């Protein structure tokens, strides 16, 4: 696996479409790339060149927040861990928001590995603020 990083806006159109397709159909990452196209992305590639997953680092209210999606066929192989730790090294401090038990466990494990770089918080406590911001920048509907 190799990791490449660029601003979302600097990827070619084909890669941008792959990334939009490689997330939840109603997920926030699709909206974030419209609202903040200069956000830094980290892509994990297989040895065959397939995109395995990606992390988007969004600057929001003075913090850097990481959002990650891994293709289901590549899950539980360390892809999210590599992506998030790469982003944490680049930005120095990231907030990871969990929304279910599975990613809560992963995010706390990552915080234990990199306590100075990773903070963990509950998504449901900030969801409204994110939706309000997306509506303000007119990126909610794409």
pLDDT digits (tens, 9 = 90+) for 71-102: 999 999 999 999 999 999 999 999 998 888 88
What is the CA 59 to chain-centroid distance, rounded?
Answer: 11
As for how many domains the chain has, the answer is 1
Residue 141 in domain: no
- Residue-wise pLDDT for 13-33, tens only, equals 999 989 988 887 777 788 888
Domain of residue 64: give its range. 2-136
Q: Can you tell me the distance from the alpha carbon of 29 to that of 130, in angstroms, rounded to the nearest whole number? A: 11
CATH number of the domain enclosing 35:
3.40.630.30
Read off the pLDDT of residues 126-138 as tens digits, 9 standing for 90 and up: 777 767 777 776 6
CA 37 to chain centre: 13
Residue 142 lies in a domain: no
């Amino acid at each position: 696996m190799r990791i490449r990083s660029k601003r979302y806006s600097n990827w070619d159109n084909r890669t941008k479409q792959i990334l939009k397709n490689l997330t939840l159909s109603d997920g926030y990452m699709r909206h974030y790339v419209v609202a903040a196209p200069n956000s830094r992305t980290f892509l994990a590639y297989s040895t065959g060149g397939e995109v395995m997953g990606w992390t988007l680092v969004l600057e929001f209210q003075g913090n850097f927040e990481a959002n990650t999606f891994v293709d289901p066929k590549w899950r539980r192989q360390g892809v999210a861990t590599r992506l998030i730790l790469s982003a944490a090294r680049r930005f120095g401090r990231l907030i990871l928001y969990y929304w279910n038990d599975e990613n809560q466990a992963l995010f706390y494990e990552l915080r234990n590995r990199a306590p100075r770089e990773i903070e963990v918080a509950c998504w449901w406590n900030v969801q409204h603020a994110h939706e309000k911001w997306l509506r303000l920048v007119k990126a909610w509907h794409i």
